[in-house]
Amino acid sequence: MKKQIANWGNYPAMEADEESFVFDDQLDTLIGKGEPFIARGNGRCYGDASLSERTISTLKYDKILSFNKQSGIFECQSGITLDQILNVIVPAGWFLPVTPGTKFITIGGGLASDVHGKNHHVDGSISNHILEMDVVLSSDEVITCSPENYPDLFEATLGGMGLTGVISRVVMRLKKIETSMIRQKQIKAENLQELVSLFDEYKDYTYSVAWIDCLKKGKHFGRSILMLGEHAGLNDLADIQKNDPLKLPKNKQITFPFNLPSWVLNKFSVKAFNFLYYGKNFKKEINNVVSYEPFFYPLDAVLHWNRMYGKAGFVQYQFVIPLDAKDGLVVILNRIADEGLGSFLAVLKVFGKQESIISFPKEGYTLALDFPVRKGLLEFLDELDQLVLKYNGRLYMSKDARMKPEMLIAGYPELEKFKEIIKKYNPENKIRSVQSDRLLLTSSS
Amino acid sequence: METVLILGATSDIAIAIAKKFASEKFNIQLAARKPAQLEPLRSDIKIRYGVQCDAFAFDALQFSKHALFFETLNPRPDITITVFGIMDDEDEAFDNWQLTQRMIDTNYTGAVSILNIAAKHYGEQKKGAIIGISSVAGDRGRASKLIYGSSKAAFNAYLAGLRNKYFKHNVHVMTVKPGFVYTRMTENLALPKLLTSTPDEVASIVYAGFTKKKNVIYVKWFWRYIMLIIKSIPEFQFKKMKL
């Protein structure tokens, strides 16, 4: 039975078959039917990467296979969400080595996107912490790959948007923590210039990210809040917290109840929001100790926050440009402010070095922005693409719903190699998505 | 800590029930035809909930092996839950006696075989609980669920009798009648959202019913009233309806 599905941006939406599996032989049966499909986790990529007329859901394939509490080696099936992993590992004194801004993704989806977090400049992306994984190919064959075994499959699967095969089992190395709290520092930056130098000044912090008000012009252009953090040690905690230093945060979620009508988000309401958001930090600098939840997952507190963008949905645009193309940030942010298409906030982060075939991160500045789907948006984003290319940048496939194949080719120098590996492991393109067809990574013939 | 035996542990509902009881700190015994398949679930339950979890081979159709199976469980479970059951295509089953018989033997005969043994043990112990996952389809015979519905009707009558027989021996027997449930078996059907529960909801309701020592529970509760209406239609009228 076809049902309506969409990923987090609610754009695009489509009719699709969704089938799930609990046991290995059930996955074999689903793959064996021979109709093209793409694996789908929790639908938290933003665009069309995990959309296809036929999807195979990994959500019921979510078992923890082993967890060594001494060494921090964690083994699981791919459909488990980071949220569920945290509930098990945090009380035992371990943390995810890398986490994106939501814990509601599956680990399989996280690897297919090679997700990064606030610690990329120190710890790299998630692929850096994966010891081994199983990939089920379109031929039903299961291959265990690692940096040593089938390194081509390993590398092309990390960030490969599910096109090499279905990631089924994952072994990763966790990060040791003393407490479940984060020692946080927030610093207000008056403008982009100040923000960029603050990033540099505080580059030794394990976690760093900034939220920028993109609608501010003039001398406050790029005013922002830089958020820095370290895992708190026992000594950072108040006496009362020391009784239970690895406590899990309480569930305090609220649900965004309905799709907001599209007229609510406009230049004025977004300006007002940003004014309040920036204004809530009275002091130049705040230092405190908070639970990991508000630090890493502030938006997870509002379930279905994507409804804020209305039924038409939104597109998230995330690019990275090299460190020496700093001017590009100014040009691009200016262009966005001029257009006034209503990005609430932009998230800026500095990536460290990374070598990979198809993963998004590379050394430089990465900026992520939300744009509600409106008339003229797609044309505007095509324009932004040209600017990103001019500064030698590229886009994140996990956020993408609309880029043209030329944009991908220009941004990813190893793309031909990636295509060769897809050809080798997924020769008949039985595994393909709306995105991979659009980007000409796969085709029906 | 008490131990729960889950018979037919590979279905979505069984997995959800196992996890629910494990989260309430019960040790878990999983039983299914191919116990090797249960290994990931077993490790998952142990790691997530910090309880004991073991997996055993059990085939509802191998009646002669049921006594040995139950006697060799160590420890013997405090609560026995039957979740196994099959729902084949009714038209195919009607034309093929083997399918009909398999459905009846699994859903009814197999359940009776193993629960006789468990009930006897609990009766002697003067404590214990039996939970049978049945179906609303057993509440009234109708064309579209001819064999499946009648096997569940027989199972319901059996559980009611067992409840009566062992009441004075302090054995709690609970009949669970789910309506529509979103599972792998139903993912290709268009189910009415308001009337359909998730396996996790079924598990929570089963656990709540167990702690409150309920006799017969419907999942969700309003199915009791839906079935009441269906049961109250006079037979001369009912036989003409397309159900």
pLDDT tens for residues A61-94? 999 999 999 999 999 999 999 999 999 999 999 9
Q: Specify if A432 maps to a domain.
A: no
Please answer whether residues A41 and A78 qualify as being in contact, where contact means their C-beta atoms are separated by less than 8 angstroms. yes
> In angstroms, how far apart are the furthest CA atoms of chain A?
66
Residues in B touching A62 (Cβ below 8 Å): 44
Q: What is the pLDDT of residues A106-154, one digit of tens each?
A: 999 999 999 999 999 999 999 999 999 999 999 999 999 999 999 999 9
| Residue A275 pLDDT | 75
Average pLDDT of A235-239?
90
Task: State how far the Cα of A93 lies from the Cα of A234, in Å rounded to an integer.
Answer: 12
| Residue A306 pLDDT | 86
A66 touches chain B (CB under 8 A): yes
Label residue A245 by pLDDT band (50, 70, 90). Answer: very high
**Domain boundary residue among A144, A177, A210?**
A177
Same domain (yes/no): A26, A103: no
| Averaged pLDDT score across all residues of chain B | 96
Same domain (yes/no): A116, A187: no
Distances in Å between the alpha carbon of B87 and those of A234, B34, B216?
Answer: 56, 19, 22
Amino acid at A228: L
B10 touches chain A (CB under 8 A): yes
Amino acid at B131: I
Label residue A260 by pLDDT band (50, 70, 90). Answer: confident
Label residue A240 by pLDDT band (50, 70, 90). Answer: confident
Residues in A touching B12 (Cβ below 8 Å): 22, 60
Closest listed residue to residue A74, CA positions, set A165, A172, A214: A172
A92 touches chain B (CB under 8 A): no
Same domain (yes/no): A35, A97: no
Average pLDDT of A423-444?
95
Label residue A310 by pLDDT band (50, 70, 90). Answer: confident
Among A236-250, A370-384, A409-423, top mean pLDDT goes to: A409-423
A33 touches chain B (CB under 8 A): no
Residue B240 has pLDDT above 80, yes or no: yes
Q: Specify if A420 maps to a domain.
A: no
Residues in B touching A20 (Cβ below 8 Å): 184, 187
Rounded to 10 deg, the angle between the B146-166 and B97-104 helix axes is 20
pTM of the model: 0.94
CATH number at residue A167: 3.30.465.10
Same domain (yes/no): A215, A303: yes
Same domain (yes/no): A127, A154: yes
Closest listed residue to residue A227, CA positions, set A277, A273, A272, A300: A277
Among A2, A4, A65, the residue to mutate for chain B (most B Cβ within 10 A):
A65
Same domain (yes/no): A53, A73: no
| Residue A309 pLDDT | 84
Cβ contact, residue pair A22, B184, below 8 Å: yes
Cβ contact, residue pair A60, B43, below 8 Å: no
Task: State how far the Cα of B103 lies from the Cα of A22, in Å rounded to an integer.
Answer: 23
Among B181, B184, B191, the residue to mutate for chain A (most A Cβ within 10 A):
B184
How close does chain B come to A357, measured CA to CA in Å? 32
Among A276-285, A363-372, B183-192, top mean pLDDT goes to: A363-372
Among A25, A35, A60, the residue to mutate for chain B (most B Cβ within 10 A):
A60
Same domain (yes/no): A123, A225: no
Shortest CB distance from B37 goes to which of A20, A23, A84? A23
Q: Which residues contact B12 (CB under 8 A, 6 or more apart)?
A: A22, A60, B181, B183, B184, B185, B199
Shortest CB distance from B43 goes to which of A1, A60, A64? A64
B48 touches chain A (CB under 8 A): yes
Cβ contact, residue pair A65, B43, below 8 Å: yes
3-class DSSP assignment, residue B124:
helix
| Residue A218 pLDDT | 83
Number of structural domains (chain A) is 3
Show contacts of A277-280: CB within 8 Å, 24+ apart.
A277/A211, A277/A213, A277/A225, A277/A345, A278/A188, A278/A213, A278/A223, A278/A225
- Topology of domain B3-238, CATH: Rossmann fold (3.40.50)
Average pLDDT of A222-243?
92
Cβ contact, residue pair A19, B190, below 8 Å: no
Shortest CB distance from B190 goes to which of A1, A20, A64? A1
Please answer whether residues A222 and A191 qualify as being in contact, where contact means their C-beta atoms are separated by less than 8 angstroms. yes
Same domain (yes/no): A9, A42: yes
A21 touches chain B (CB under 8 A): yes
Same domain (yes/no): A394, A330: yes
Task: State how far the Cα of A158 lies from the Cα of A115, in Å rounded to an integer.
Answer: 9
| Residue A204 pLDDT | 95
Q: What is the pLDDT of residues B130-144, one digit of tens each?
A: 999 999 999 999 999
CA dihedral (A141, A145, A151, A153) positive or negative: positive
Please report which helix (H) or strand (E) contains residue B123, including its range. Answer: helix B111-125
Closest listed residue to residue A341, CA positions, set A319, A316, A321: A316
How close does chain A come to B130, measured CA to CA in Å? 26
Residue A207 has pLDDT above 60, yes or no: yes
How deeply is B68 buried, as exposed, middle or buried, from its count of CB atoms within 10 A (0-12, 13-18, 19+)? Answer: exposed
* Domains in chain B: boundaries: 3-238
Among B187, B196, B198, the residue to mutate for chain A (most A Cβ within 10 A):
B187
Same domain (yes/no): A200, A136: no
| Residue A34 pLDDT | 85
Closest listed residue to residue A334, CA positions, set A389, A300, A271, A384: A384
Same domain (yes/no): A285, A334: yes
CATH number at residue A316: 3.40.462
Residue A267 has pLDDT above 70, yes or no: no
Q: Is the pLDDT higher at A165 or at A268? A: A165
Cβ contact, residue pair A22, B12, below 8 Å: yes
Q: Specify if A414 maps to a domain.
A: no
Amino acid at A38: I
| Averaged pLDDT score across all residues of chain A | 93
Cβ contact, residue pair B187, A19, below 8 Å: yes
Q: Specify if A22 maps to a domain.
A: yes
Same domain (yes/no): A223, A254: yes
Which residues 112-141 of A have a C-beta within 8 angstroms of B? none
Q: What percentage of chain A has pLDDT greater than the value 90?
A: 78
Please report which helix (H) or strand (E) contains residue B100, including its range. Answer: helix B97-104
ipTM attached to this prediction: 0.93
CA dihedral (B88, B93, B97, B101) positive or negative: positive
Residue B185 has pLDDT above 70, yes or no: yes
Q: What is the pLDDT of residues A14-57, one digit of tens each?
A: 999 999 999 999 999 999 998 999 999 999 999 999 999 999 99
Among A5, A22, A27, the residue to mutate for chain B (most B Cβ within 10 A):
A22
End-to-end CA, chain B: 46
Closest listed residue to residue A182, CA positions, set A99, A114, A254: A99
How close does chain B come to A85, measured CA to CA in Å? 9
Phi/psi class of residue A16: alpha, beta or left (left: φ > 0; alpha: ψ in -120 to 50)? beta
Angle, alpha carbons B233-B144-B98 (nearest 5°): 135
B184 touches chain A (CB under 8 A): yes
| Residue A445 pLDDT | 57
Shortest CB distance from B44 goes to which of A1, A26, A64? A64
* Structure-block tokens of residue A106: 């599956």
Task: State how far the Cα of B76 lies from the Cα of B121, in Å rounded to an integer.
Answer: 9
Task: State how far the Cα of A393 lies from the Cα of A319, in Å rounded to an integer.
Answer: 7
Residues in A touching B48 (Cβ below 8 Å): 64, 84, 87-88
Q: What are phi and psi of A40, to 5 degrees?
A: -135, 135
Q: Which domain holds residue A266?
A: 181-408
Q: Specify if A273 maps to a domain.
A: yes
| Residue A340 pLDDT | 72
Task: State how far the Cα of B50 lies from the Cα of B19, in Å rounded to an integer.
Answer: 11
Task: State how far the Cα of A402 lies from the Cα of A47, in Å rounded to an integer.
Answer: 8
Residues in B touching A64 (Cβ below 8 Å): 43-44, 47-48
DSSP string, B56-94: EE--TT-GGGHHHHHHT-SSPPSEEEE-------HHHHH
B12 touches chain A (CB under 8 A): yes
